[in-house]
A and B are shown apart, each in its own frame.
Chain A
Amino acid sequence: MKIFTSFITLFFITFGVQAQKAKLPNVEVKGLDGKMIEMSNIQKEGKPMVISFWATWCKPCVKELNTIRDIYPDWVDEADFQFVAISIDDSRSQHNVAPFVKGRAWEYEVYLDTNSELKRALNVVNVPHTLLYDKKGKLVWQHSGYSVGDEDVLFEKILQYSK
């Protein structure tokens, strides 16, 4: 065990420090139509991308996404960006994600992270959790939790990176 731990530490020190080019990990998520797609294929080139982790059972997440729904048309007018909501619902509530989303008239892209693989790959501790990637796909900002008004902070960041 000790040997392994020191090996890992050495490995991170050697290779980790010099490189900070953030790219989305090659993790597959499921579309609402059941199609599997790699995260790297979801991001459209030349646009900043917001990834918002949520779940149908997470009240603050739903509040945040409902709030954004109401102001989304204005956001889209003012900035060129991509908004992706990733549900971490497991097989208990996953089948209800598409009806839940359409029944609330959310217009963003929604994908299912069926066994939280993407959540782990992006080091999300709890939902809601929001990440912002710049035009080149580099992680530039993240925020955990939701309080009323956080959506304005997010939009300031989107504006800043969509210029």
Chain B
Amino acid sequence: MSTLAIIDYGMGNLHSVSKAIEHVAPGVRVKVTSQVAEILAADRVLLPGVGAIRDCMGEIRRLGFDQVVKSVADSGKPLLGICVGMQAMMDASEENGGVDCLGMFAGQVRFFGRELSENGQKLKVPHMGWNEVFQRHAHPLWQGIPDGERFYFVHSYYVCAKESDAVYGETRYGLEFAAAIGRGNVFAVQFHPEKSQHAGLQLLKNFAEWDGRP
């Protein structure tokens, strides 16, 4: 039986993502854990995250998960980041007055701003709800998911990736932002697959079956 570790660093609701994976991948043993040994021993690893980036990065560093995440990335095992988990993989975020992140992907996390608009209409921030994700490159995690499918988002900051090759999905909300990034065995999404019903469950199922090759 393969194992999937969800890294628990005390931020938010890990129940949903764990239940969603159990629902679509009954053959996978899901562990919500903050034990370094358990994370490193798992066949695949998920880095979730909600809330403010300073608190998230603070806890990730305090618990030594910065090194753990990087060694999982280096190991070739499938690694999935979700929401702030994705943002944490970038160089830095401008939230909370500027926070250094893990630097696994080149680029910044930026605020949507108070003056975000589209076609003359002021847009609400946070970007909350179901929006379309346009697939920029093929990837095993997109398997069975139509291009332009809607996923559930809730965030006020967005990923601005430097390397366009790393951007696997884009979404428009006043501007185009990276909804999914990836490289090798690492994939990360801004939306919440565990809250995105069929499409989200499909992505989690794909992750549970992924061998880590793009």
Does A associate with B in a complex? no
> B residues engaging A (CB < 8 A)?
none
> A residues engaging B (CB < 8 A)?
none
